[in-house]
Amino acid sequence: MLAIVGPNGAGKSTLMKGMAGALNPLSGGIEIARGTRGGVAYLPQAAEIDKSFPITVFELVAMGLWRRTGLFGGLSKADRHAVEHALAAVGLTGFEARAIGTLSGGQVQRMLFARLLVQDASIILLDEPFTAIDAKTTADLLDLVRRWNTEKRTVVAILHDLETVRQAFPQSLLLARRVVAWGATSDVLTPENLLAARRMTEAFDDHAAICAAA
């Protein structure tokens, strides 16, 4: 379990989108072990979910099965059971026919975690999974993350709550447009490293003119 932390503008979400294959790096590269790409599940920030889209909770969770069913394939009895089991695991039994636009923030996040469950991926990427949700939902979903860890899955999460990182994530990556520290959380989240990361991010000027080539 690895937490990615750093100030706003540090590049955390950009890095994760690159890991998920949603962005191509301008330089360098991202390598994922052969045969693992299909086993990567990505949870974007809740703000990126269009809750006005006319789809039910069951239908959205079932989208996690698309690698197996195809874009237009029907669901088997086993597929439907998998969706129902995932909804039960996140406490959303009885919400199957609800439109996603009627859900609270915490319920939306539970639904998205249910979609991750049916994907059954070996690598799970979470972008701010516990932001703007209630304490009970956070605790329940954190239990799922811990379960994935016991199942030998790789979990990488972008987090802002450093106390949650210290309690639940043994490894951390501290970013500030570049790597400040990477390793055991107790060694990474030191006052010195956190101050350095903040100063490094503040030193960047996003609106600076591009220098002409020499």
Residue 176 contacts residue 14 (beta carbons within 8 Å)? no
208 Ramachandran zone, left/alpha/beta (phi>0; psi -120 to 50): beta
Domain covering 2-203 in this structure, CATH number: 3.40.50.300
Three-class DSSP category at 154: strand
Which pLDDT value is given to residue 31?
76
pLDDT-derived band at 211 (thresholds 50, 70, 90) equals very low
Distance CA 171, CA 151 (A): 17
pLDDT of 73 higher than 50 = yes
Name the maximum alpha-carbon separation found in the chain.
Answer: 64
pLDDT tens track for 145-172: 999 999 999 999 999 999 999 999 999 9
pLDDT of 209 higher than 70 = no
Average pLDDT for residues 110-123, to the nearest whole number? Answer: 95
Nearest partner of 20 among 6, 47, 41, 50, judged by Cα: 41
pLDDT of 69 higher than 80 = no
Residue 43 contacts residue 118 (beta carbons within 8 Å)? no
End-to-end CA distance of the chain: 44
How many CA atoms lie less than 13 Å away from 69 in the CB half-sphere? Answer: 18
Average pLDDT for residues 15-36, to the nearest whole number? Answer: 79
Average pLDDT for residues 100-113, to the nearest whole number? Answer: 95
**Strands lying side by side in the sheet with 179-184:** 40-43, 123-127, 154-158, 2-5, 171-175, 179-184
Average pLDDT for residues 68-72, to the nearest whole number? Answer: 66
Residue 126 contacts residue 72 (beta carbons within 8 Å)? no
Give residue limits of the domains in the chain.
2-203
- Where does residue 9 rank: exposed (0-12), middle (13-18), buried (19+ CB within 10 A)? middle
